Structure 1
Amino acid sequence: MEQTIFPGVNKIAVLRATALGDMIFALPALKALHCAYPQAEIVYLGRDWHAGFLPGRLPGVKRVVAVPPVKCIEQLAQGLVIDPAAEADFFGRMQAENFDLALQMHGAGEFSNPFVLKLGARFSAGLRSPKAPPLDRWIPFGYYQNEVIRLLEVAALAGANTVSTSLQPCLPVLDADLAAAAPFLDGLRRPFAVIHPGSTDPRRCWSPEKFATVADWIAGQGLEIILTGQGEDGARIQAVQENMRAHALNLCDRLSLPALTGLLSHSALFVGNDSGPLHLALAVGAQAVGLFWVEYILNSMPLLRGNFYPLISWQRQCPRCGRFLDKAEADHPAGPCTHYVSLIEEISPEDMIRGVETMLRVKSNSPSRYTPGCNG
Structure 2
Amino acid sequence: MGHLNADFGGARMTGYGVGPVLEEFTGVSRIAVLRGGGLGDLMYAIPAVTALKAAYPTSTVTLLGTPIHAELLAQVESPVDETAILPFAEGVRPGAVDEENLDRFIAGMRARDFDLAVQLHGGGRYSNPFLLRLGARHTVGAGTPDAARLERTVPYAYYQHEPLRALEVAGYAGAPPVDLEARLRPRPEFERQLAVSLAGDTRTVVVIHPGATDPRRRWPAERFAAVARRAADDGFRVLVVGDQSERELAETVVELAVGPVPAGAGAARGSDSADHAAPQVASLAGKLSLGELAGLLAGCSVVVANDSGPRHLAQALGTPTVGIFWAGNAINAAPLGRSMHRIHLGWATHCPECGIDITQVGWTAPRCRHDVSTVEAVAADAVYEDVLQLTAMTPRPRGR
Tell me how far apart the structure 1 counterparts of residues 124 and 95 of structure 2 sit (CA, whole Å).
10
CA drift of 1:272 comes to 0.9
CA drift of 1:130 comes to 1.3
Q: Does 1:57 align with 2:70?
A: no
Which amino acid in 1 is paired with 2:372? V
Q: Does 1:301 align with 2:320?
A: no
Instruction: Give the corresponding residue for 1:41.
Output: 60
Match of 1:28 among 15, 35, 47: 47
Give the match's secondary structure for 1:98. Answer: coil
Q: Does 1:106 align with 2:139?
A: no
Tell me how far apart the structure 1 counterparts of residues 365 and 383 of structure 2 sit (CA, whole Å).
30
Match of 2:393 among 362, 367, 373: 362
**How many residues in Structure 1 have an aligned counterpart in Structure 2?**
357
Within a 5 Å distance, the mapping from 1:175-254 to structure 2 comes to: 175-178=188-191, 181=194, 185=198, 188-245=201-258, 247-254=280-287
Give the match's secondary structure for 1:272. Answer: strand
- Range with bigger deviation, 237-246 or 123-132: 237-246
CA displacement 1:52-94 (0-9 Å, x = unmatched)? 33247234x3221111234xxxx56996897533122111111
Instruction: Give the corresponding residue for 1:348.
Output: 379
Which amino acid in 2 is paired with 1:137? R
Query: Do the aligned partners of 1:226 and 1:249 also contact (CA within 8 Å) in 2?
Result: yes
Query: Do the aligned partners of 2:306 and 2:323 also contact (CA within 8 Å) in 1?
Result: yes
- Range with bigger deviation, 78-87 or 287-296: 78-87
Instruction: Give the corresponding residue for 1:374.
Output: none
Tell me how far apart the structure 1 counterparts of residues 386 and 211 of structure 2 sit (CA, whole Å).
19
Match of 1:4 among 13, 19, 23: 23
- Structure 2 runs not aligned, ≥5 long: 1-12, 14-20, 259-278
Which amino acid in 2 is paired with 1:149? L
Query: 1:327 and 1:257, CA in 2 relative to 1: closer, same or farther beyond 3 A?
Result: farther
Match of 1:314 among 347, 353, 373: 347
Tell me how far apart the structure 2 counterparts of residues 361 and 40 of structure 1 sit (CA, whole Å).
43
Which amino acid in 2 is paired with 1:95? R
Query: 1:247 and 1:190, CA in 2 relative to 1: closer, same or farther beyond 3 A?
Result: closer
- Structure 1 runs not aligned, ≥5 long: 370-376
Query: 1:339 and 1:330, CA in 2 relative to 1: closer, same or farther beyond 3 A?
Result: farther
Which amino acid in 2 is paired with 1:316? T
Which amino acid in 2 is paired with 1:253? G
Query: 1:169 and 1:364, CA in 2 relative to 1: closer, same or farther beyond 3 A?
Result: farther
CA drift of 1:237 comes to 1.5
Query: Do the aligned partners of 2:88 and 2:98 also contact (CA within 8 Å) in 1?
Result: yes
Query: 1:338 and 1:331, CA in 2 relative to 1: closer, same or farther beyond 3 A?
Result: farther
Tell me how far apart the structure 1 counterparts of residues 280 and 44 of structure 2 sit (CA, whole Å).
34
Query: Do the aligned partners of 2:37 and 2:93 also contact (CA within 8 Å) in 1?
Result: no
Instruction: Give the corresponding residue for 1:372.
Output: none
Give the match's secondary structure for 1:309. Answer: strand
Match of 1:158 among 166, 170, 173: 173
Query: 1:332 and 1:241, CA in 2 relative to 1: closer, same or farther beyond 3 A?
Result: farther
Q: Does 1:94 align with 2:109?
A: yes
Give the match's secondary structure for 2:22. Answer: coil
Q: Does 1:17 align with 2:50?
A: no
CA displacement 1:224-253 (0-9 Å, x = unmatched)? 010111233223222211111384111110
The sequence identity of aligned pairs, in percent, is 38
CA drift of 1:203 comes to 0.6
Match of 1:143 among 154, 158, 170: 158
Match of 2:299 among 262, 266, 287: 266
Tell me how far apart the structure 1 counterparts of residues 348 and 393 of structure 2 sit (CA, whole Å).
29
Tell me how far apart the structure 2 counterparts of residues 180 and 199 of structure 1 sit (CA, whole Å).
27
Query: Do the aligned partners of 1:67 and 1:82 also contact (CA within 8 Å) in 2?
Result: no
Tell me how far apart the structure 2 counterparts of residues 135 and 200 of structure 1 sit (CA, whole Å).
31
CA drift of 1:51 comes to 2.5
Tell me how far apart the structure 1 counterparts of residues 221 and 207 of structure 2 sit (CA, whole Å).
14
CA displacement 1:5-29 (0-9 Å, x = unmatched)? 0011111111112210111111111
Tell me how far apart the structure 1 counterparts of residues 355 and 102 of structure 2 sit (CA, whole Å).
44
Say what the alpha-carbon RMSD is for the aligned residues. 2.6
**TM-score normalised according to structure 2 size:** 0.83
